[in-house]
Amino acid sequence: MDTPHYIAGRWLPGEGADVFSAFEPATAQAYAELRAASVDQVDQAVAAARQALPAWKTTASRERARYLRGFAEALGTRRSALVEAQMRNNGKPRHEAEVDLDDAVATFAYYAELAEGLSDRQNRPVALAAPGFSAHTRLEAIGVVGLIVPWNFPLVTSAWKIAPALAAGCTVVLKPSEVTPLIELAYAEIADAIGLPAGVLNIVGGKAEVGAALSAHPGLDKLSFTGSNAVGSRVMHSAAEHCRPLTLELGGKSAILVFDDCDVDQAIEWIVAGIAWNAGQMCSATSRLLVQDGIAEALLPRLAEALDALRIGNPLERDIDMGPLTSQAQWHKVGEYFAVAEHEGLRCLAGGRQLGGPGWFVAPTLYVDVPGDSRLWIEEIFGPVLCARRFSQEDEAIALANDSRFGLVATVASADLERAERVAAALEVGHVWINSVQAVFVETSWGGTKGSGIGRELGPWGLGAYQSVKHVTRCLG
């Protein structure tokens, strides 16, 4: 790992002061050491993207689509290595790592299709009420974009940003998380392999200093950030200083609403998936369980049994249901919430403890009858910690679900589909699942309301986030 940065089509050693390690969370052992990029190297990356922009944004959209298909195909050929990399550095079970890889492939393939006809759809006429004028519309690349991605879904979140940005004709500077610094380098390897023009994709790694330098850089035309609300707030301040557009995908404290007409076994499957996938390290984790009185006594004890029965371990050694937390810092954070729960006197039906090492494992946890002023009910934990409350009426469930500073997603479980649709319409979130696990499709949008962020990714909305609208109006007289 002597050259972990990719700038202007070249692999370069880090010149920053920080040295950081990639860890295997199942063993708590470091297996790679990297030197961060310097602030000067961030400048170099932005300059390379700026230099590459004029040619890339005027490249025929069919040609850009060809490169995107090259990314999709190359990810597929690297499947085994990338799945193992996700398992090793993230601690993901194999089936989750495979879903991540499939998601990234699908994202590049989808935006290749959208890019295919962009050039042909330019200069669309606009009907004007006033006589004597004509007008047409152009959708143009917004410019050089900075992309900052988190550690919980590397490869996936970066695909969600890189693919539409390149499809739109933007050039990119990507900053991966220092917790998972390796897997995004596959995108640079692929860029080399498919002959992507130098400077179109640049990758600089490091800790907060590198992210701050990128987010504050005056050479960017847009910034897209996925991560915590605390860092997102600082990123937003940087964007405000330059009055530039910004996409933020931040935290969540999402609810799953289970009505008493729901099949208990099916409900448990959806609940467990919503809190245990990626060991609960998801902004979309449905960590607040709202269960109707009529089903609560049958569901909660069996839910506790299901959580206790999850197979936990090293994904490289055996078939598991849930792996470790990805970092020691996150392991300590979740442990602190266990202490808070004990101090608050919460009733624990499952878990509530850190597990023995050597890795960063915690038990999937269920607290019941959690009051609305509990820190565990209000705050994003980012671990497999589920808090349950009961409700009696539909309106009460909606009010409890919406009583949050976040608004990313929600799940509704009910045999009454008319009611489920009615509840979905009333929830103040960006995405709702009805009687389903959290299946995310590239054709749909992703993003939230309130404190969960600004803007949307995926679908045509994700492409639009990297395009600016230009109207040309002409006097015919």
User: 3-state DSSP call for residue 109?
Assistant: helix
170 as an active site residue: the answer is no
Order of all β-strands in the sheet with 171-175: 10-12, 5-7, 201-203, 171-175, 144-148, 222-226, 246-249, 453-454
What does R_g of the chain's alpha carbons equal in angstroms? 23
End-to-end CA distance of the chain: 65
- Using the CB atoms, write b or e for 327-340: b if 16+ within 10 Å: beebbeebbebbee
**Cα–Cα nearest to 121, from 154, 167, 179:** 167
From the list 249, 262, 380, 387, the catalytic residue is 249
Q: What distance in Å separates the CA atoms of residue 63 and residue 352, rounded to the nearest whole number?
A: 53
Q: What distance in Å separates the CA atoms of residue 458 and residue 443, rounded to the nearest whole number?
A: 6
CB distance 274 to 431 below 8 Å: no
Two structure tokens written together for 200 = 């179109």
Phi, psi angles (nearest 5°) of residue 3: -130, 70
CA dihedral sign of residues 158, 164, 167, 169: negative
**Cα–Cα nearest to 429, from 457, 462, 452:** 452
Report the C-alpha dihedral over residues 223, 274, 461, 455, rounded to 10 degrees: -40
| 132 Ramachandran zone, left/alpha/beta (phi>0; psi -120 to 50) | left
Q: Report strand pairing: 201-203 vs 222-226.
A: unpaired
Residues in the chain: 477
Q: What distance in Å separates the CA atoms of residue 354 and residue 337, rounded to the nearest whole number?
A: 11
The separation between CA 148 and the C-alpha centre of its own chain, rounded to angstroms, equals: 11
Give the type of residue at 159. Answer: A
CA dihedral sign of residues 155, 156, 161, 163: positive
From the list 96, 178, 262, 283, the catalytic residue is 283
249 as an active site residue: the answer is yes
Cis peptide before 315 (omega within 30 of 0): no
CA dihedral sign of residues 230, 235, 237, 243: negative
Q: Which residues are catalytic?
A: 249, 283
